[in-house]
Amino acid sequence: MSADSNEDLHRLFATPVQLLHRVITDEACDALVQMLRSRTSVGNERSSSLFHTALMEPGQDAGIDALARQLLPFIQEFGALLLGEMRPWSIKEMWGNVMQQGGHQSIHNHANCMLSGIVYLTSTVDSTQTVFVKSMGGQDYKLSNENQRTKPTAFNSQRWRAPQASPGDALLFPSYLLHEVPLNQGAERMTVAFNAIPDRIDAWGYGLSFGA
């Protein structure tokens, strides 16, 4: 194989995942942290050290409203990657998460939306970075070659750990992607998650409109 053989290597049907740096300021992070401490009253069914707020809609909290305004331009640009055109998008819902040491978030995805995201309010360590998991089934081979010699790549990996995020960073991804947070072995992890939808999709005149 020649040294330049990778020139014709194509990454077919790529899935976008984007880490945005410093979407909000340290001051905004601190204010949201204080808000979450007073509102995280919903316990997670599978982890006794993970708590959530109720779903938050526009008008319920000034900090959440400001965060939504900051996110929308990035959501629209990311949505253009998914849909192939710029369209109006809206945030369907937002909620806070507080994960104490020993907590974890089980593998899941998000229904009834097209784009999801996470805003990090505290620092992450290896054990609290979001991990994406390849969906079971699909059209790929039902054979596996996983051993100590295997070198994971974009073509054979079963799991992908998102880059380390800092307070104020946001992670955007298609809502169907399975993801989880492993056992937290570090400090308290606080985030705001959200789901977003476009106003409409159109397949050659067969359209669907969405409303939050």
Q: Which helix (H) or strand (E) holds 190?
A: strand 189-198
- Read off the pTM: 0.92
Predicted confidence (pLDDT) at residue 210 exceeds the cutoff of 80: yes
Output the domain CATH number for residue 113: 2.60.120.620
Look at residue 208 and tell me if it is in a domain: no
**pLDDT for 212:** 65
Domain extent at residue 131: 16-137+148-200
Q: Is the pLDDT of residue 5 over 70?
A: no
Q: Which of 115, 108, 155, 116 is nearest to 132 (CA)?
A: 108
Contact 18, 162 (CB under 8 A): no
pLDDT of res. 1: 46
pLDDT digits (tens, 9 = 90+) for 180-207: 999 999 999 999 999 999 999 999 999 9
Average pLDDT (119-140) is 87
In a domain, residue 24? The reply is: yes
Structural domains counted in the chain: 1
